[in-house]
Amino acid sequence: MQAMQPDENYLFTYKGFYFQPDLTSVEHLDTLDDFEIRDSDVFLFTYPKSGTVWTENILSLIYHEGHRNGMENLNILDRFLSLEYKIRNVDYVSHPSPRLFLSHLPYYLVPKGLKNRRAKVVYVVRNPKDVLVSYYHFSKIFVTLGKVEVEDFGIFMEKFLAGKVVASLWLDHVEGWFSHRDDFNILFLTYEEMKKDLRSSVLKLCNFLGKRLTEKEVDAVVDQATFDKMKADPRANFEFLPPDMIDHSKGHFLRKGTIGDWKNMMTVGQNERFESVFKERMEKLPIKFCWDINDEL
């Protein structure tokens, strides 16, 4: 594996995008452009901390009866193939269909075969203040991200606003995917709509994926995708990962799982600073953001 030289933030740049150095390689990233796509492939794209694992869980419950009825006891890492990070040593080519992929890649680094609109793409977006707060807490428990000491929240926020974090700038990611949506067979979902009406979100996904589930099966998906169920499930909460990857003594992967937790973290001044950097570009996005659990969608 070609060595990736991390910078002072323990980040590696490949084609203008920040990766975590120890989980991928230049050779692997170089193969992605020509990566062969199947019609039956499903790709989940997100900016980190936007509800990736939640949506992975829902998709795998929709696709696999064995996950719904508990017969297949797979942890969340083994239910999906990570496109850019080779976390598991799995051969993607011989993997049976339907292959479920997850990725934090920006639209411009994805396999070019995806642009023929055959495989299905799901993109989940979350309000960026909750993303920031979730990311900050995660960087304390995810040991490899924390190789550079995560200082106070204000310093982390400046890194986030400058895009000096894994997956680069939130705005670029979301803007890029929305403005190129016509290139893909894509469904956009928001974390907030999933939180406010999980059942409707599951049905929306089933409809997009062409999966017909019975009422009872939909109930089973919804039941196993609630925050409380997932938090209590060690397979979803990454409790199987060793302490040199996740420091379980410092917190849980499934932390609060709500809308508006940023209000408990950001000062008035930090919120103003955030808005001064993000607001103008955010207003141009075709998304109505929800900032509080009590707000209407």
Residues engaged in binding ligand PPS (CB under 6 A):
46, 48-54, 130, 134, 137-138, 195, 225-227, 230, 254-257, 261
- Residue 24, CA atoms < 13 Å, CB-side half-sphere: 23
| Closest distance of CB 162 from ligand PPS, Å | 19
| Closest distance of CB 8 from ligand PPS, Å | 22
Q: What is the DSSP letter of 142?
A: B
Q: How far is CA 136 from its chain centroid?
A: 15
Q: In the numeric block, which tokens belong to residue 247?
A: 């420091």
Q: Residue 193 corresponds to which amino acid?
A: E
Q: How far is CA 71 from its chain centroid?
A: 26
| Closest distance of CB 238 from ligand PPS, Å | 9
Q: In the numeric block, which tokens belong to residue 179?
A: 């403005």
Beta bridge partners of 45: 103, 123
Counting other chains too, the contacts that 149-158 makes at CB distance below 8 Å and 24 or more residues apart are 153/265, 153/266, 153/270, 154/270, 156/132, 157/132, 157/266, 157/270, 157/273, 157/274
Told to judge if 104 belongs to the known catalytic residues of this protein, a careful annotator would answer yes
Q: Give 24 or 46: the residue with its C-beta nearer to ligand PPS.
A: 46
Q: Give 147 or 255: the residue with its C-beta nearer to ligand PPS.
A: 255
Q: Give 133 or 161: the residue with its C-beta nearer to ligand PPS.
A: 133
Q: Give 153 or 227: the residue with its C-beta nearer to ligand PPS.
A: 227
Q: Which residue has the closest beta carbon to ligand PPS?
A: 257
Given the residues 67, 95, 104, 173, select the one marked as catalytic. 104
| Closest distance of CB 230 from ligand PPS, Å | 4
Distance in angstroms (rounded) separating the CA atoms of residues 81 and 102: 6
For residues 167 and 48, the answer to whether their CB atoms sit within 8 Å is yes
| Closest distance of CB 261 from ligand PPS, Å | 6
Instruction: Look at the block and give the residue holding tokens 């009422």.
Output: 215
- Smallest Cα–Cα separation from 104: which of 199, 1, 18? 18
Q: Give 245 or 285: the residue with its C-beta nearer to ligand PPS.
A: 245
Distance in angstroms (rounded) separating the CA atoms of residues 269 and 280: 18
What amino acid positions are annotated as catalytic residues?
104
